[in-house]
Chains A and B, each alone.
Chain A
């Protein structure tokens, strides 16, 4: 039983990491209608930027906050000078652009900082507490709490503020939004900036656990995408819930199903997706969309 609880708790904490990236993906999708495959790459870059500030002698919290602000600007610039060229065109082309961006950012990080693992200091103390017989590190607890807080803020932003309404309107129909007087370009920049800032938070939360490498979030990105498919592209809560579910499930399966084990546990969310899609074509939380021609 103790092992079980331990596995569930650990699963929730890794699930929170996937959740942070999944939230960033949902955010860009809400604001622009795109899937951003560069999300993980941008988050890695932010983590390295924070690392550089720490190396330069800044206190950790200041370095992370500065990295978040810089990432916001970076995300907005990427939208303005790269994505804008493709936003009105074929969505498939835009997705390929984000893949190109992922390649580019990974390459830049690798050239600037190399492929060696770098130790990123933790924001939270490394001590641990006992809950129901399981050892829970304060760090993973704090990570989970941070993710819940961000999720709540995002939900508030999208459903209760004018900015959120405007972001959703632009994603849904840029042409009508423009006709209604919304500054479409600026809103798209804000959407990308927010997502990049969120990625920076994810990078800072994960950095200590994974140690910094150019590809440190590649695996997490895949889980995040799986979470987004399962939870729904339009639902921050759904994405987070799915990310936690995946984190817990993969941990349990890795231990209790020897056939799968630790190397193949990444297949679990996708096996789940396949089964669900075959049984429930519109997705777990999806609605049937009726389109008029």
Chain B
């Protein structure tokens, strides 16, 4: 019975959320809409990063490269008069192919070496974008205007852009949710936990990593398309290394291995620089570093775990919740950072756990229910 009501409640909340999301831009001022649009853009990029890093455990410092590539493909397609759906498909597929090629080499590296290879992507990408000026417009950058509201819609540009982002990001988030909760999500979790165990279970660590990386780059390409929809201009600066680090910070601060965390990460990416710039532009870098370290110190699972941590602090001792199977996963997800898992081969069995896919569901409904 409890399951039934919670299911109904979840559907009701979902419908409510959709209605609010669809109606919101009609009432909000343009500046807020623009911020929301950019949050959506980066949430999709962070979501891709989360799939390869949060869920599969492969540190990826090159996600911004795929955003930039997607943006350039979009600009190229739009300026050459392609159909806009074709442009989107091209942005996703071409970045996916590039991501696949990179992954075929990078995933051969064990452990942290993949991080050292992916760092090359933005660093090589910037001079490459300057060099290929026939496609990219060189240092000047290139612009593509396809996201102005058509006359029949009666909307303002910011509202129209909002709906483009909402549509793409919404579909992306639903697809990602299905992915990480299904068969591949379990494969990701086992590979993250221990590659030897994964291999012994018949899950190929190599191909799982390649798959996760490729999917992440497709999301990067899609976010590049959205970036062009929101900003209408891109230059080599878009894919600079500093932005890649910010993207990674956003993912960790939002919550690694969490779908909702990706959305929080996108919001962090947009909102915090605005705030720190308002205080003192010189301190932006410092505050980013401090915030990142502070979150890792206090909330190793990111901001998304804040309600869970608060609840644990307020209700210490009464950890058991109604709902039977669900609580088992929750503590293991939060405690994994305190356990001695630093030496993977020796603690193999303890590390294999289904990701916090299961506990995330009630978390999410409670979050929305509260707000």
Contacts and interface: CB of A to CB of B under 8 A. Distances in A.
Interface of A: 33-35, 37, 82, 85-93, 95-97, 99-108, 110-111, 173-175, 218-219, 222, 225-226, 228-229, 233, 263-264, 266-267, 270, 273-274, 277-278, 281, 283, 289, 291-293
A107 B109 contact: no
Which interface class (under 10, 10 to 19, 20 to 34, 35 or more) fits B? Answer: 35 or more
B162 interface: no
A37 B249 CA distance: 14
Interface in B265-297: 282-290, 292-293, 296-297
- The 3 lowest CB-CB distance pairs between A and B, nearest first, are A104-B289, A107-B285, A107-B286
Contacts of B124: 264, 266-267, 270
Contacts of B113: 229, 233, 283
B59 A107 contact: no
Nearest to A106: B285
Contacts of A273: 105, 117, 120
Contacts of B284: 107
Contacts of A233: 113
Nearest to B301: A93
Contacts of A228: 116
Given A95-B59, A103-B292, A264-B131, 20 more contacts: A82-B293, A88-B338, A88-B340, A89-B342, A90-B57, A93-B252, A96-B296, A97-B293, A100-B289, A102-B245, A104-B290, A107-B283, A111-B283, A173-B343, A174-B343, A175-B340, A219-B123, A267-B128, A274-B102, A293-B348
Interface string B44-67: 000000000100010101000000
Contact of A270 (B117, B200, B282, B296): B117
B248 interface: yes
Given A85-B297, A104-B290, A264-B131, A96 B112 contact: no
B120 A270 contact: yes
B131 to A, nearest CB: 6
A278 B100 CA distance: 13
B291 to A, nearest CB: 9
B235 to A, nearest CB: 15
Contacts of A104: 285-286, 288-290, 292-293
Q: What is the predominant secondary structure among interface residues of chain B facing chain A?
A: helix
A90 B109 CA distance: 18
B124 to A, nearest CB: 4
B127 interface: yes
Contact of B342 (A37, A87, A100, A105): A87
B59 A100 contact: no
B10 interface: no
For A218, A270, A289, the residue with the greatest tally of chain B CB atoms inside 10 Å of its CB is A270
Contacts of A266: 123-124, 127
A103 B289 contact: yes
Contacts of A99: 61, 245, 248-249, 292
B289 A101 contact: yes
14 contacts: A88-B340, A89-B338, A92-B59, A96-B292, A96-B296, A99-B61, A99-B248, A103-B245, A106-B285, A107-B286, A107-B288, A174-B343, A175-B340, A229-B113
A96 B285 contact: no
A95 B112 contact: yes
Contacts of A85: 297
For B284, B293, B297, B346, the residue with the greatest tally of chain A CB atoms inside 10 Å of its CB is B293
B150 interface: no
Contact of A103 (B112, B196, B197, B288): B288
A263 B296 CA distance: 36
Given A100-B289, A110-B285, A291-B196, A225 B348 contact: no
Interface string B105-120: 1101111110111011
Given A225-B116, A267-B124, A270-B120, A107 B289 contact: yes
Contacts of A33: 342
Contact of B130 (A174, A222, A263, A274): A263
Contacts of B285: 103-104, 106-107, 110
Given A100-B292, A101-B293, A89 B337 contact: yes
Contacts of B197: 293
A264 B296 CA distance: 36
B120 A222 contact: yes
A277 B109 contact: yes
Contact of A175 (B57, B110, B343): B343
Contacts of B297: 85
B112 A35 contact: yes
A179 to B, nearest CB: 12
B300 interface: yes
Contact of A218 (B241, B289, B290, B341): B241
A274 B282 CA distance: 38
B307 interface: no
